């Protein structure tokens, strides 16, 4: 995509987006407690997702120092991802943690897929937030009130880099009493939320969203379930207009 410019995204736009995540300050990390949660850049934009019991007492790193740049894979500019990969790993390694819990699917994909491809050693164990949630819920079964909800799961595009966590996702949904409806556009056949497509083909994005939500409704879903906050941005308004709640 990058070599032939197949997505048609101007190089000036790519450069401006890369500059948006530049940092000049030193990386700061909490006192080492063996494990740490990396919130990427979402602790400000989606602060409510980090509130409550689930992450209580868990040290957190956040901000642009911990942005993984997989965004640029979505934009057909993989060289940008590669250019920043080592720094991303080094910043997380600076925590001294043995386990780093990754809130964002992109960040996890960088560590378990892209970094090894780039020949970068990851000196800690990456833990996807879904794996963390599964362990937490299994340890607190007595506190769970089943939701009794049918959802259509919006699998992020980055999940193609870590398909092995599907079992953990199904386990989490089962533990909270949620049915993941069987539908055409799920798992390996998932559709983009439309947000990335809106960047390089804005005329196509509404049709992608329509097909996705048609599929969810035809499968009997009551709500959309998002793993990635960006997918929620991409789909939530259209989903709400069509009677689908969002989680």
- d(CA 3, CA 10) in angstroms, rounded, equals 13
pLDDT in 10s for each residue of the chain, 247 residues = 777 677 778 889 899 999 999 998 999 898 888 999 999 999 888 989 999 999 999 999 999 999 999 999 988 999 999 999 999 999 999 999 999 999 999 999 999 999 999 999 999 999 999 999 999 999 999 999 999 999 999 999 999 999 999 999 999 999 999 999 999 999 999 999 988 877 777 888 899 999 999 999 999 999 999 999 999 999 999 999 999 999 9
Q: What is the pTM of this model?
A: 0.93
CA distance 148 to 96: 41
| CA 189 – CA 120 distance, rounded (Å) | 30
Chain centroid to CA 165: 12
Domains belonging to the chain, first-starting first, are: 11-128 (3.40.50.1860), 144-246 (3.40.50)
CA distance 117 to 54: 33
Do residues 49 and 81 lie in contact, with contact meaning Cβ atoms separated by under 8 Å? no
Alpha carbon separation from 40 to 17, 92, 116, 209, 228 (Å, rounded): 16, 11, 20, 26, 12
Name beta bridge partners: 209. none
């Amino acid at each position: 995509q990058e070599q032939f410019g197949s997505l048609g995204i101007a190089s000036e736009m790519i450069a401006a987006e890369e500059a948006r995540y530049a940092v000049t300050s030193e990386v700061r990390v909490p006192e080492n407690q063996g494990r740490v949660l990396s919130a990427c850049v979402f602790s400000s934009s989606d602060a409510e997702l980090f509130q409550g019991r689930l992450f209580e007492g868990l040290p957190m790193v956040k901000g642009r120092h911990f942005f993984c740049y997989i965004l640029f894979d979505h934009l057909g500019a993989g060289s940008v991802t590669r250019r920043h990969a080592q720094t991303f790993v080094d910043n997380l390694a600076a925590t001294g943690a043995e386990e780093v819990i990754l809130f964002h699917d992109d960040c996890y994909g960088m560590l378990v897929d892209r970094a090894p491809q780039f020949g970068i050693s990851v000196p800690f164990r990456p833990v996807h937030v879904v794996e963390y949630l599964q362990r937490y819920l299994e340890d607190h079964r007595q506190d769970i009130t089943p939701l009794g909800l049918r959802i259509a799961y919006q699998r992020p595009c980055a999940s193609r880099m870590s398909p092995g966590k599907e079992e953990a996702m199904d386990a989490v949904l089962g533990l909270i009493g949620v049915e993941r409806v069987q539908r055409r556009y799920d798992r390996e056949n998932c559709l983009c939320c439309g947000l990335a497509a809106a960047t390089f083909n804005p005329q196509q994005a509404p049709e992608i969203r329509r097909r996705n939500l048609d599929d969810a409704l035809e499968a009997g879903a009551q709500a959309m379930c998002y793993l990635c906050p960006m997918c929620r941005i991409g789909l939530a308004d259209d989903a709400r207009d069509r009677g689908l709640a969002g989680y």
